[in-house]
A and B are shown apart, each in its own frame.
Chain A
Amino acid sequence: MSAVLCVVCPKENAHSLLSLMPRNYCRCSSSNKLSSKLSFSSGVTAYSSAVANPSRSAEERVYEVVLKQADLMREHRRKTAMDLEKPIENDGNTNWNLLNEAFGRCREVTAEYAKTFYLGTLLMTPERRRAIWAIDVWCRRTDELVDGPNAMHITPKALEIWETRLTDLFEGQPYDMYDAALSYTVSKYPVDIQLFKDMIEGMKLDLRKSRYKNFDELYLYCYYVAGTVGLMSVPVMGIAPESKASIDSVYNAALALGIANQLTNILRDVGEDAIRGRIYLPQDELAQAGLSDDDIFRGIVTDKWRSFMKGQIKRARMFYDEAEKGVSELNFTSRWAVWASLLLYRQILDAIEANDYNNFTKRAYVAKAHKLASLPVAYARALMRPSKLAKFELGPKMNQIIYK
């Protein structure tokens, strides 16, 4: 048969997966993709008890993914240090014209659809920011498939094909120019394909699920659609070489930031989502607060609603606090951007409070003045060095935070 030109050939990811010693945990109920693919070499002491427990919480399952990412990065570092991974700089097969044009387009699309985010990325180095743009465009295109103006024509088979294209591009066979940009990006930075697959899973979830029984389910959803993005961006942002914190904790912080962002979105858009018949708040907590779906659809702010929202906002803030612990460990050039986005997004929660918790009819937004004021604050915090203290372990403690 005929051979075909490879545009880029990323092999790192495959190698890292193979090198990890397989130690699959048996699960009684495994209907999700996470469990069957996970294997890692480091024993996790905190979770030996979880093995016995047949139905582990979403947090635990997501934590496994986090650990896997950390392992991937360690593997990548080891190989680069030993010069096993030759960077594919001047590969004669790479079509630089196409690639440069592709990255240029990624830049334009990001600038068009996410102006604030785009401005933030300009604070990063050119290599890193175009990698972020490539990832952002893929995520955006995937989102358009299921949630865009032409989403009504998309079928499960279409998503399967989309996933095939994803696998192909990870193997160096991108389909179109945007895939080529992402393919190049994942060949340079150790990003795990599982995160992308989980994001597709999250999109699919959004199509069939409009209620979430408890926070555990919501946590999983937030991981799928936003936590994955946080984890994808850590290898691109890069951890500061002088950082003494463990890689696990940095990834955990990134995950926490993604979850916090998504929770903020959810809390801001309660009214909009209700119009489309979706409630992204845990049903059991609503019941505990004496609220029903009808109360949300009616859209009237009551004292019960206020106290419920207070608890939700408090929890979202806790995730931001967790995230803050890890931002200082990133590369300096990336720190400012991440701090800025963290501070800006966090202010949305303040805006919800200022609206007297009326997220039904009022859209909480941060005034331009506040946005601008965040920039110097973010810069100041970015100047803070990575921790020189011994490793601080971040583990999921959310299940210990009792929602009042």
Chain B
Amino acid sequence: MIRVLAVSYPINPPCPYGVHNWTCSRFPHVKPKLNSRSWRARASSDADSSSSSSSSSSPFAPSIDSDPTDKNASGFCIIEGPETVQDFAKMELLEIQDNIRSRRNKIFLHMEEVRRLRIQQRLRNAELGISKEVQENELPNFPSFIPFLPPLTSENLKQYYVSCFSLIAGIIIFGGLLAPTLELKLGIGGTSYEDFIRSMHLPMQLSQVDPIVASFSGGAVGVISALMVVEINNVKQQEHKRCKYCLGTGYLACARCSSTGALVLIEPVSTISGGDQPLSPPKTERCSNCSGSGKVMCPTCLCTGMAMASEHDPRIDPFD
């Protein structure tokens, strides 16, 4: 079992954002968290323990609300500003690698804790008789890619199958049995290609078409256009999930260096002495805002590119 160096979470008085952030969220999938005082008290008593246990009664479960304010001494903040890049800019490579490794480990452990907590939550819900509501980040159904059709779930997937097959069967029966019968017995239909082409005033050579070729082309055109419609709908839905501010890239152009990544240093040049020397090309310095990448974090999607970011969404790398 890997022992993890715990970060002690200094406890502040309850952050005002903690309690009310949830109640004012407009999105039904976010459930209000129970900010029980007892957790905070426990966490504060264990704050100076230097190792964590990975049992489910781990004290390291202050609610997420108190986390961001006090992550580390330098005051990490999720929104970037002109000065925030300095947080990690002074570290050496080895230090950075260690930091990355330890944080990834923490994320891993936190995910495990979330899983165990969810189990407990479910048990409590069952005890109290609370009916299971839609959990966060779970999609019990997903919209159909075909326009105008209702959303798919595992229940109505069966219905989809049934209706699909019966439709195909019906068409085959109609084409293979009904139509010829009607034609023979009642004389309905039976328009030949020739008659049809003639009535539509199209060139007569179209009526010479091979029936196999005709039915194949018709089927193929139908299938291809159906697939196109589905694809277009798919793209529209994906776009819908994309962050509109950065268009899914996760980044916005840095205004300081105008997305070049470099700042031109303006140094006053004296024209009195050394006036005959040619001007040297201006020196450039790496833009501190964007660390030379030319783009800065999109504060709406927090570099995930998604309209609604979750902890699972990978953060896009600016240098890609």
Contacts and interface: CB of A to CB of B under 8 A. Distances in A.
Interface of A: 2-5, 7, 95, 97-98, 101-102, 105, 108-109, 112-113, 137, 141, 144-158, 161-162, 164-165, 168, 173-180, 183, 206-208, 210, 276-278
13 contacts: A2-B285, A98-B255, A109-B244, A145-B79, A149-B307, A150-B301, A150-B302, A153-B78, A157-B75, A158-B68, A175-B81, A207-B16, A276-B25
B245 A156 contact: no
A165 B81 contact: yes
Contacts of A180: 255
Contacts of A108: 244
A153, A207, A208 interface centre (most CB from chain B within 10 Å): A153
A178 B252 contact: yes
Given A7-B256, A177-B255, A276-B26, A158 B21 contact: no
Nearest to A272: B26
Contact of A276 (B23, B79, B84, B258): B23
B77 A161 contact: yes
Contacts of B253: 98, 101-102, 176-177
B10 interface: no
A98 B296 CA distance: 14
Interface string B10-29: 00000111001111111100
A12 to B, nearest CB: 20
Interface stretch (B97-105, B150-158, B259-267): B259-267
B79 A149 contact: no
B80 interface: yes
Contacts of A208: 16, 20
A1 B99 CA distance: 31
Given A109-B245, A207-B21, A156 B69 contact: yes
Given A141-B245, A156-B15, A176 B77 contact: no
Nearest to A181: B255
Nearest to B290: A176
A176 B254 CA distance: 5
Contact of A165 (B22, B25, B27, B82): B82
Interface of B: 15-17, 20-27, 30, 64-65, 68-69, 75, 77-84, 244-245, 252-259, 263-267, 285, 289, 296, 298-302, 307-309
A311 B319 CA distance: 58
A54 B23 CA distance: 34
B79 A176 contact: no
A210 to B, nearest CB: 7
Nearest to B307: A149
A121 B196 CA distance: 53
A164 B309 contact: no
B81 to A, nearest CB: 4
A161 B84 contact: yes
Contacts of B265: 2-3
A147 B26 contact: yes
Contacts of A148: 300
A7 to B, nearest CB: 6
B316 to A, nearest CB: 15
Given A165-B81, A168-B82, A153 B289 contact: no
A173 B21 CA distance: 31
Contacts of B81: 161-162, 164-165, 175
Contact of A152 (B21, B263, B267): B21
Given A158-B78, A158-B79, A152 B299 contact: no
Contact of B24 (A102, A105, A206): A206
